[in-house]
Structure 1
Amino acid sequence: MTYRSPADEQHRLSGAELRAAVLAFATNPIYLDGEHWENDDNPYRRQLRPQDLRYLDFTTPLRRDQVLRHASLAAQRMLTCIYEADLVLLPQSELTPGTYEDFRSFYSSDNRARGEAIRPALEAYAFAFLEDEVIISGAWNTESLEVFLRELDGHDRNVLLATEKAIRHSDDPRRAARMWLIQRPPGLLSMASAMLGTVLGTLGEPDPEWSEIVIGRYGHGMHDAAHRTRYEHTLASVGLRQGLHHYWQYYLPGSLLMSNYFHYLGRNHELFFRYLGALFHAESTLADFSARAAALLTDVFDGAVDVKCFTEHAATEAGNGRTVLENLVLPVVQRCGPAVIPEILRGYQQAQIVAELAEEDFVAQISWMDEGKANKRLYERVYRAVLEAKVDVPVVRIAEPYGELSTTHSHQGDQLCHIVSGTMRFVSGFQSQQVLEAGEGIIIWRNRLHGAIIESDECVYELHSVGDYRTFL
């Protein structure tokens, strides 16, 4: 017998209705493009590029091979805003009149209602692919589940392996490591909050253990011991700002997917048993992940980095997977019966897939950042070939004034950017940029995060949609 999760019964907006509802949400002034790359001590400003959203279709769910595209990034950015409107987020310094107004706007009834109106559709769009990725078959009982999960506990020793290689072999390992550290806050600084919704209620015997996990995330009442605080110390030790979403524009779709997956499970209580499986995956891999991360950062920064956040996890949380299994998963199965087992297994495997996609996205981004100068040189060959080509290549000519900042985004196919006049600073990631003058350009890889800012009175440039740039070599 094959088990599948029941289809979610939810109100679905039509294409036109959903597009209108998305635009109504995303045109809140706090979500519009800004003038700066970073959001300085303002956790309410989140650039959503609403100018793109009218052209995106969120009615047809993504396939796995599409989840790193710009449309997925757009959906994940909106979902992050929607989920975090349930959390109390305060800046690190005194509220100014401007940030207080943004605070009011972010938590306003209108903003929350507009977010909730589109949340089910965006969740279906962003996460439905996972239903097709995992199929649980066979007859399961408590005993077989226990044997299976005990074998899996700590089994995923390859976690972070591809990331380690990408950082260590990068042209600029420290830049790559900082880019990786920037990806963690969406989940690390708020994931315990995503868990809170699953604690409230009547779970019976697992109640104390579940609460203990949450309390542990918050340092058992001691601010300096909280996971978030420890991580902020790591960021500060390598020269990174600590404010939540300070580096919003550098978040990759895979990173937001991983963070939002836990919010998605925590918000939708019909997925509670799936959350158990995802939590087991996170806890059973945390110690090994943390040990690898501590060693990696120590090597890359020659010891001049605070890795206590990771070394403490490596030392104290080696048995977390077993604890979750024995004190949460098995008691819940004994209370609710074997019918919930397929969902627990599905949550474990889906969390594994989400982690793999996040790592794939990051590794590709580091490669793209490292190839910045090479892609600037390669542009000349491709541009000549495009001009000589017998096929028409779609092209858009754009003129922008001084200081115009293009919020980070990506393209579904490769693009060739050609500067007709003026100066552009092209950004492909944190501390990764190329200055492009008239007659110069760059190759933009498909699905790779990038943005730009104009540094002349005006800049006129062309974007040629070349599909696969390699066909022009």
Structure 2
Amino acid sequence: MSHKLPEHVPFALGAEQLRQYVVQYATNPIYLDNMDWVNDDNPYRRQLRPQILPHLDFDRVLPRENILDYEGLAVQRLLTSIYEADLMFLPKNGLKDKWADFKSFYSSSNRALGEMIRPSLERFAFGFLDQEVEVSGTWTKKELETYFRSLADRDRDQPSRAEVAIGKSTDRERAARMWLIQFAPDFLSEASPMMRNVLGYYGPAQSEWFKIIIDEYGYGVHDTKHSHLFEKTLASVGLRTDVHHYWQYYLNSSLMMNNYFHYLGKNHELFFRYIGALYYTESTLVEFCQRGADLLTDVFGPEADTEYFTEHVGIDVHHGRMALENLILPLVDTHGDSIIPEIVRGYEEFQLVSEIADHDFAEQIGWMDGQPVNRQLHDPVWAAIQAGRVDAPVAHLVEPRGELSNTHCHDGDELCHIVSGTMRFESGFGSSQILEAGQGIVIHRNRLHGANIESDECVYEIHSIGDHRACLS
């Protein structure tokens, strides 16, 4: 009898297996399309649009230039659901009629399927960072400390593109609410990804990291827990606070920012990358939160509860120093200079992800504000199609009253043309307009949108026009 063991083969899914398991995961009834724009106190319902997933290829790395395409949105929605099966969510008003959804979300089947597809989806979603971020050269502890302290001295008082977009918006309150909604996936379960890294055993640094976490959790006092403070901010401007109430209004990049920390925390081989990303957040949050408090007060007046932001201003200078002096540098002392490139890479990667999200949100606000113009563009683009100057693939659709096209985006510009009936076109939270027969709208590439049918039947066409500007010449 031979005692020779077979060669170890790392686990990996083939392309067809991956597609099969993604669809199997997403056809769980809790992930099907919704008949309303929001989820009512049900943290287990997440619309994954499984009918589209068989047509998507996740067995590759999504290039940087396509990161905001629909495949990117689809994978970030999938990953959010997979990661959060590790967290405990309970409805504010009790399980009651949500018991079946609770059992389904936390079932062994749902979790096992999620874990099987997770590595491939992570490679698809975050693999572009391998090409975008490179840390070269030989680093020492002194060089790392000098580098991080020089970054901390940079001027961070300038408003982000997102903040500028809110300030210039034709509806600043709508834009500011949309902005707050983007933070809900992170802030309502704040520090949960971080908790993944304080389990285990790694010496004094572990206790230092835990000090940051217990700050986030209000030292066990619920009224001072950061997520509770954010709930007060949401409520003060008329927004709901139940988890994923606004799931359909999350942008691709907003989910990406939150998922990036889950990705690093779930994969412990990326532990040192996480602490670099942690330092980025802790060293930039003070200025961000000060500007955030000022922005909300300017937009909503004194009724806006800004304690979430002002409380961070008070503690995060301390957190940034703690992260560097009590966590990062002692880990370098213990484990050597070889971990430094990973730490720096985490910092640089999350900085890039943050920049992508900043740009994405600003573009979405511009898209929401620009709906009157995009509606006017329908006529010249439609005329070009009718005259044969534009030859674009077209989808013919017939839908009944109440049919809801859950939010999504397109990889190129599209023309929506109403043949008959009435559609309510949704371009973001609080942003919609009625389209009647003969009317329509130009839908910009990568912009989140959806639609609802408000007549007994609506017949409409979607023309894939590529770049709408080419139709106007």
TM-score bin (small chain): over 0.9
Mapped to 1, the partners of 2:279 and 2:176 lie a distance apart of 27
- 2:280: which partner in 1? 281
Deviation at 1:152, TM superposition (A): 1.3
Q: 1:358 to 1:188 in 2, by over 3 A?
A: same
Q: Give yes or no for contact 1:153–1:321 (8 Å, CA) kept in 2.
A: no
Q: Give yes or no for contact 1:191–1:263 (8 Å, CA) kept in 2.
A: no
Q: 1:455 to 1:52 in 2, by over 3 A?
A: same
- Provide Cα deviations, 1:416-438, integer angstroms capped at 9, x if missing partner: 00001111000000000010011
Which amino acid in the other structure matches residue 101 of structure 1? A
Q: Give yes or no for contact 2:190–2:227 (8 Å, CA) kept in 1.
A: no
Which amino acid in the other structure matches residue 94 of structure 2? E
Residues 1:34 and 2:38 are matched in the alignment: no
- TM-score of the pair, normalised by structure 2: 0.96
Secondary structure of the equivalent of 1:426?
strand
Q: 1:245 to 1:160 in 2, by over 3 A?
A: farther
Mapped to 1, the partners of 2:153 and 2:271 lie a distance apart of 22
- 2:219: which partner in 1? 220
- 2:65: which partner in 1? 65
Aligned pairs for 1:18-417 (under 5 A) are 18-97=18-97, 99-153=98-152, 155=154, 157=156, 160-417=159-416
Q: Give yes or no for contact 2:384–2:390 (8 Å, CA) kept in 1.
A: no
Secondary structure of the equivalent of 2:51?
helix
Deviation at 1:389, TM superposition (A): 2.6
Q: Give yes or no for contact 1:373–1:434 (8 Å, CA) kept in 2.
A: no
Q: Give yes or no for contact 2:157–2:287 (8 Å, CA) kept in 1.
A: no
Mapped to 2, the partners of 1:287 and 1:212 lie a distance apart of 18
Mapped to 2, the partners of 1:231 and 1:56 lie a distance apart of 36
Mapped to 2, the partners of 1:107 and 1:291 lie a distance apart of 38
Please identify, of 440-449 and 183-192, the stretch whose mean Cα deviation from structure 2 is larger. 183-192
- Provide Cα deviations, 1:249-286, integer angstroms capped at 9, x if missing partner: 00000000000000000000000000010000000001
Secondary structure of the equivalent of 1:45?
coil
Mapped to 2, the partners of 1:229 and 1:127 lie a distance apart of 30
- TM-score of the pair, normalised by structure 1: 0.96
Mapped to 2, the partners of 1:159 and 1:31 lie a distance apart of 40
Q: 1:216 to 1:290 in 2, by over 3 A?
A: same
Q: Give yes or no for contact 2:287–2:313 (8 Å, CA) kept in 1.
A: yes
Deviation at 1:401, TM superposition (A): 0.7
Q: 1:154 to 1:32 in 2, by over 3 A?
A: farther
Mapped to 1, the partners of 2:327 and 2:392 lie a distance apart of 57
Q: Give yes or no for contact 1:150–1:322 (8 Å, CA) kept in 2.
A: no
Deviation at 1:391, TM superposition (A): 4.7
- 2:3: which partner in 1? none
Deviation at 1:320, TM superposition (A): 2.1
Q: 1:119 to 1:160 in 2, by over 3 A?
A: farther
Which amino acid in the other structure matches residue 291 of structure 2? R
- 2:457: which partner in 1? 458
Mapped to 2, the partners of 1:70 and 1:315 lie a distance apart of 39
Which amino acid in the other structure matches residue 103 of structure 1? F
Q: Give yes or no for contact 2:184–2:243 (8 Å, CA) kept in 1.
A: yes
- 1:6: which partner in 2? none
Count of matched residue pairs? 464
Deviation at 1:154, TM superposition (A): 5.5
Q: Give yes or no for contact 1:69–1:412 (8 Å, CA) kept in 2.
A: yes
- Provide Cα deviations, 1:352-398, integer angstroms capped at 9, x if missing partner: 00100111110000000001111111111111011113452111100
- Provide Cα deviations, 1:179-214, integer angstroms capped at 9, x if missing partner: 000000111222411111100111212122111111
- 1:5: which partner in 2? none
Mapped to 2, the partners of 1:429 and 1:435 lie a distance apart of 14
Runs of 4+ in 1 over 3 A off after TM superposition: none
Which amino acid in the other structure matches residue 217 of structure 2? Y
Secondary structure of the equivalent of 1:58?
coil
Q: 1:160 to 1:253 in 2, by over 3 A?
A: farther
Which amino acid in the other structure matches residue 36 of structure 2? H
- Provide Cα deviations, 1:13-37, integer angstroms capped at 9, x if missing partner: 2221111110000000000001110
Which amino acid in the other structure matches residue 207 of structure 1? Q
Secondary structure of the equivalent of 1:306?
coil
Mapped to 2, the partners of 1:451 and 1:174 lie a distance apart of 21
Secondary structure of the equivalent of 2:91?
coil
Mapped to 2, the partners of 1:106 and 1:160 lie a distance apart of 39
Q: 1:155 to 1:189 in 2, by over 3 A?
A: farther
Aligned-residue identity in percent? 56
Mapped to 2, the partners of 1:305 and 1:318 lie a distance apart of 24
Please identify, of 318-327 and 74-83, the stretch whose mean Cα deviation from structure 2 is larger. 318-327
Q: Give yes or no for contact 1:154–1:321 (8 Å, CA) kept in 2.
A: no
Q: 1:370 to 1:252 in 2, by over 3 A?
A: same
- 1:14: which partner in 2? 14
